[in-house]
Amino acid sequence: MSEEKLPTRAENFAEWYNQLVLRSEMADYAPVRGCMVVRPYGWALWENMTAALDKEFKATGHVNAAFPMLIPMSFMEKEKEHVAGFAPELAVVTHGGGEKLEEPYVVRPTSETIIGHMYAKWIKSWRDLPVLINQWGSVLRWEMRTKLFLRTAEFYWQEGHTAHASAEEAQEEMYRILDIYSNFAINEAALPVIKGYKSDTERFAGAVITTSIEGMMQDKKALQSATSHYFGQNFAKAFEIQYLDKNNTLQFCETSSWGLSTRMVGAIIMTHGDDAGLVLPPRIAPIQVVIVPIFKNDEEKNKVMEVANRIFAELKAAGIRLKMDDREGVTPGFKYNYWELRGVPIRVEVGPKDVEKDSVALARRDVPGRDGKSFVPQAGLVRAISGLLVEIQDSLLKRATAHRDANIHDPKSYDEMKSILESGWALSWWCESKTCEAKVKEDTKATTRVIPLDQPGGEGKCIVCGDKAVKKVYFAKAY
């Protein structure tokens, strides 16, 4: 337990992030290159995220299942665009039980192919539709450049796969899930994401339409935080997912898939963290409140612990996730720094003077120093803390939204846009040509992040070539 300070975000944002993930005990490097070990504190955050999402999926009629991690290589070759997109990232198993396999297996990079195979077996009639299945698990993509949570070879996620009778239903599903992701990001993770479409260049391999939510990190880079895809009949034709319609005519299904991964943990860290450590949104924080009793001798300890234990019981009964830090042999200051590093939203301090005054000191993590400290009566403490948790959640969203909006610009020329993209986002008219998209990437290293669903209407001139444009798009450098 080191008290060594983190690098500051201004000095080196990337190293600040790496050190924060390690020191806050969210994750650690695994012995396999590019893989991570998610430690209990990081997994507790992920569990709270998965619980919120799983509830929403089930409320909209989805059910969970589990599919194999190993996929026959021949499956990957059935959908050509899909396999071309994933070919460089595949991990292939060639031997099993000491014998060379007749057919190699791919460790799943995503599960469209194996699930498509099973859907072809299960779906026979229009009465079998829609099929709305979600899977929680991990996938493996042989990433060359990795970063804890943001891009690792193996990562944890959910992947939904649905089959429908019509294109309209499948696209409705795509948008329904996009809304679930957006609402989760905004309301639970306090991330002010933007919903929209991916360009043809950026869309998922094998998809007809890819939608995503994009967030701005504190270093002003974009992070694709979740995606929802409409496949049309691409996978249905590749895997012969067919059904007899009401006229007894054989039809191909329309399918969708969608996923949100542990990358969202990285988004939370990079959006809200500060130079002292994590700052976690109360709604999904593993620990919402930490109680730090302060005493110098046994007499003080007995009085303080009696109050601290009572407060603990009251808060726990109210459903608040909390921790009692009654460790001896370390100073209160060490404990403050320890829990600040881990981003616990509220710290409750109980000392001898607080016992005498029937009060406690509250320190809110999102407002460092004296400005974030207050003294409140012990009576009504549950109500006060519950209200403060809501206030902190709202404050984090407002702060992140203000940062995002202050760093999105509408340049008047291509030269101005190039300057903006050095450290910020541009929202600009775009003719939707791959040539202009490639030029921006070559000149600035920025890409089209998302074509927002909310368009201004009318038309303008493409920021790159000056031709007619009817859509605006966000350009930014990205993780």
Q: How many residues does the chain have?
A: 479
How many angstroms separate the CA atoms of 137 and 54, rounded? 13
Angle at alpha carbon of residue 256, lines to 255 and 257, rounded to 5°: 135
* DSSP 3-state of 313: helix
pLDDT over 70 (residue 82): no
| Backbone φ/ψ region at 206: left (φ over 0), alpha (ψ -120 to 50), beta | left
pLDDT digits (tens, 9 = 90+) for 144-192: 888 999 999 999 999 999 999 999 999 999 999 999 999 999 999 999 9
Q: Which domains does the chain have, with CATH numbers?
A: 13-272 (3.30.930.10), 289-395 (3.40.50.800), 408-476 (3.30.110.30)
Residues in a beta bridge with 257: 161, 229
Closest CA to 268 of 282, 287, 252: 282
pLDDT over 70 (residue 2): no
Mean pLDDT for the chain overall: 96
pLDDT digits (tens, 9 = 90+) for 316-332: 999 999 999 999 999 99
Q: What is the pLDDT of residue 1?
A: 45
pLDDT over 60 (residue 48): yes
pLDDT over 80 (residue 3): no
pLDDT digits (tens, 9 = 90+) for 407-454: 999 999 999 999 999 999 999 999 999 999 999 999 999 999 999 999
Residue 115 to residues 22, 236, 393, Cα–Cα distance (Å): 36, 11, 38
- Assess contact for 460 and 469: CB atoms under 8 A: yes
How many angstroms separate the CA atoms of 316 and 339, rounded? 19
Strongest mean pLDDT among 87-96, 107-116, 222-231: 222-231
Question: For the chain, first and last CA: distance in Å?
Answer: 30
How many angstroms separate the CA atoms of 304 and 290, rounded? 15
Lowest mean pLDDT of 259-263, 366-370, 469-473, name the range: 366-370
What percent of the chain is modeled with pLDDT above 90? 93
pLDDT digits (tens, 9 = 90+) for 271-296: 999 999 999 999 999 999 999 999 99
CB pairs under 8 A, 24+ apart, for 394-398? 395/366, 395/367, 396/190, 396/272, 396/279, 396/281, 396/366, 397/186, 397/190, 397/191, 397/192
How many angstroms separate the CA atoms of 340 and 403, rounded? 22
Residue 334, CB half-sphere, CA atoms under 13 Å: how many? Answer: 10
Q: Which two tokens stand for residue 3?
A: 């008290």
Residue 378 to residues 239, 373, 382, Cα–Cα distance (Å): 64, 15, 9
Q: What is the pLDDT of residue 61?
A: 98
pLDDT over 90 (residue 143): no
For 88-105, what is the mean pLDDT?
Answer: 94
